[in-house]
Chains A and B, each alone.
Chain A
């Protein structure tokens, strides 16, 4: 069956370090992948999109990689700040063009000052 897995355990890092979050998937051939940020009590907010033919995307301190052979995406936040503390969700789109996005369970990041 199709599955998307993100680290269920919270990731705790020190301010200034690079945070790396992982999104693995099985039995999918996603046309693209998106990352979202969710703060407690709020709806998710879009961060980045990466397509299947792209290896890497950057936006300010954020970097996403997409390895369709390993079936994995890595999400990096460089020079992390306490304000980056949140839950980060990856979402995959199938190639059937229905528009559906299927989400992983999210990884909570805690950046300590």
Chain B
């Protein structure tokens, strides 16, 4: 049982480049989300999805796009990377939006933008 899988684990980009962070879960979870973690700032919610075809913004959505075409996958796109997007990104899922259950996190993707 893989849980939540994120790729890549590490990435270096130049300012202005685009890329997609991949997230897949095999638990049939309806709810998926992306957080970024910066020193002293904790985990901040970027975007989330309560089911296939439904996405919404979190606390810090600017500069990021998401889509949810399947239950399993929730990719995060950076259209034009900026140094301020240097961070560790975590994908997390849970059973459903109405659940009080735990969030299951991936191992993180460390992104550096030069």
Query: Which residue numbers of A lie inside 8 Å of B, CB to CB?
Result: 4, 6, 8, 31-32, 34, 36, 41-46, 49, 51, 89, 91, 93, 97-106
CB atoms of A44 and B98 under 8 A apart:
no
Residues of chain B with a CB closer than 8 A to A98's CB:
48, 50, 56, 97
In the bound assembly, the distance between CA atoms of A6 and B33 in angstroms comes to 22
The CA of A42 and the CA of B101, in the complex, are separated in Å by 20
CA distance A4 to B42 in the complex (A): 10
A98 to nearest B CB, angstroms? 6
Residues of B within 8 A of A101 (CB): 33, 45, 103
**Using Cβ atoms and an 8 Å threshold, which residues of chain A touch B42?**
4, 6, 89, 103-106
Asked if A43 and B100 sit within 8 Å, CB to CB, the answer is no
Residues of B within 8 A of A (CB): 4, 31, 33, 35, 40-45, 48, 50, 56, 58-59, 90, 92, 94, 96-108
Cβ contacts A to B, 7 pairs, < 8 Å: A43-B107, A91-B103, A98-B50, A99-B50, A99-B98, A100-B45, A103-B35
| Chain A residues closer than 8 Å to B45, beta-carbon distance | 100-103
Chain B nearest CB, measured from A87 CB (Å): 10
A97: chain B residues within 8 A (beta carbon): 97-98
Q: Which of chain A's residues have a CB closer than 8 A to the CB of B105? A: 43-45
Closest A residue, CB atoms, query B107? A43
> Is B40's CB under 8 angstroms from A105's CB?
yes
Known: A42-B108, A43-B107. A100 touches B41 (CB 8 A): no
Given A42-B107, A99-B48, A102-B45, also A32-B59 (CB < 8 A): no
* Residues of B contacting A31 in the complex (Cβ-Cβ under 8 angstroms): 100
Please give, as numbers and ranges, the residues of chain A lying within 8 Å of B90 by CB-CB distance: 43-44
Q: Given A44-B43, A89-B43, A102-B45, verify A49-B100 contact (CB < 8 Å).
A: yes
- Please determine whether A34 and B107 come into contact, CB atoms closer than 8 angstroms: no
Considering the complex, give the chain A residue whose CB is closest to the CB of B6.
Answer: A43
Q: List chain A residues, Cβ under 8 A from B98.
A: 97, 99
Q: How many angstroms from the CA of A104 to the CA of B37 in the assembled complex?
A: 11
